[in-house]
Structure 1
Amino acid sequence: MEILPHDLQLYLEDHCDPEPAELQKINRYTYLKVLRPHMLSGHYQGRLLSMLSKMMQPRRILEIGTFTGYSTICLAEGLAEDGLIHTIEIDREFEEMLNQHFKSTNVDKKIIQHFGPAAQIIVEINEDSFDMVFIDADKKNNLSYFNLVFDKVRSGGLIIIDNVLWKGKVYSEETDADTRSIRELNDHVAKDTRVEKLILPVRDGIMIIRKK
């Protein structure tokens, strides 16, 4: 789901860097072969993630929600020479596909894959701190993931959370469980004085959080 009008979205994509050829293939594969392909970050959001990563030049990134690996590859574009991404995916059946996608873009040696419940794996990952965290998994647990990763993010590091506008439901009268969970997250972060934050109306809304 994209918040912006379709014509505006096309204009934005036409006026940012082109989608790399291998990512175009992953994009196409996702829409042809995978259920719920709209979960893919896609061209414009992918270029945003790539640019943020290049600005940060992170040594360690944590991604919660690998899906078909598109966003992982975008984040990897900005890694420091010795950088690594830990990425967590609940569905073990994606492993073979992900290995192929990461090898096709030559980032496989910079990616450590984890499969299973994110809340458990976050605690088990043996890293002192992360420069960037990208949260794009089951929405009802976004606030829990934010709280779990917060102390693992260095001062000046970024936490990026996807789908925070939730098809526009968060600023409507909707009261379903997922919408309430995302409102709770947004309200919590808005009041959190330990961070600087803003929401960009990119695709389904992406929140950029900088830890002070």
Structure 2
Amino acid sequence: MHFLSSVLENYIADNSAPEPQVLQDLRRETHIKVIQPRMLTGHYQGRVLSLLSKLISPKRILEIGTYTGYSAICLAEGLSKDGHLHTIDVNEELYGIQQKYYKLSGNEASITQHVGDALDIIPHLEEVFDLVFIDAEKKQYDAYFEAALQKCRPGSVILSDNVLWSGKVVEPVKKSDKATQVLLEYNKKLATDPRVETVLLSVRDGLTLSRVK
């Protein structure tokens, strides 16, 4: 589902900060070489992530779901001095393209890539995260959130992507559609969870911003 016309989407992008050249190149290579390129964060949402990160100026960032590294580079743009980003993905086949563009973006030393199950990796990260971005297996969103929350402090921000799920969250849900059912429960939980203050933003496919109390 497209929430806005392509004309409006283009207008929004044209009147937002420009997409850095290295990210243009990464987007192009992703579309040429990687399956399901629509999973890429993209220009507009990438600039949203970048600006949010710059406003927060995090010392430590946790990203759950790396794909080809586009969002990691955007988030890393806001790291404070000597800051660091940990990103986790199960697909080791994308490691090469990730590392290539981390280096080209100048963020190679500020990003650590972990390959494996985030729920196994997060408990062993001896960090307190100021900013978390969840964009991985939708059926595990609640588990990712709970694991990340244990590594956050009051004032930390947790971002959750794709929470509108192409508009399926407001349509009749098939019994076989587990992902939509999980996201419906997840969205309701975040809106009512006393541990966080949440607002759901209609950015691209839905982006939830939750501030830890």
Q: Which residue of 1 aligns with 2:61?
A: 61
Structure 1 moving runs of 4+ over 2 Å: 1-5
Q: Which residue of 2 aligns with 1:191?
A: 192
Question: Which structure has the higher relative contact order (CA within 8 Å, separation 6+)?
Answer: 1
Q: Give matches, 1:11-90, under 5 Å.
A: 11-90=11-90
Change (3 A) 1:116 1:12: same
* Corresponding letter in the other structure for 2:130: D
Q: Which residue of 1 aligns with 2:117?
A: 117
Question: What displacement does 1:151 show?
Answer: 2.1
Structure 2-normalised TM-score? 0.97
Question: What displacement does 1:32 show?
Answer: 1.0
Structure 2 residue ranges without an equivalent (≥5): none
Question: What displacement does 1:169 show?
Answer: 0.5
Q: Give matches, 1:170-209, under 5 Å.
A: 170-175=169-174, 176-209=177-210
Change (3 A) 1:140 1:55: same
Q: Give matches, 1:4-15, under 5 Å.
A: 4-15=4-15
Indicate whether 1:168 and 2:167 are aligned.
yes
**Cα deviation per residue 1:72-104 (whole Å; 9 max; x = unaligned)?**
000000101110000001011111111111001
Question: Does the 8 A contact of 1:157 with 1:211 survive in 2?
Answer: yes
In structure 2, distance between residues paired with 1:39 and 1:2: 15
Identity %: 48
Secondary structure of 2:44 counterpart: helix
Question: What displacement does 1:2 show?
Answer: 4.5
**Cα deviation per residue 1:29-74 (whole Å; 9 max; x = unaligned)?**
1111100101111000000000000001100000000100000000
Indicate whether 1:102 and 2:116 are aligned.
no
Structure 1-normalised TM-score? 0.97
In structure 1, distance between residues paired with 2:34 and 2:83: 29
Change (3 A) 1:86 1:11: same
* Corresponding letter in the other structure for 1:47: R
Structure 1 residue ranges without an equivalent (≥5): none
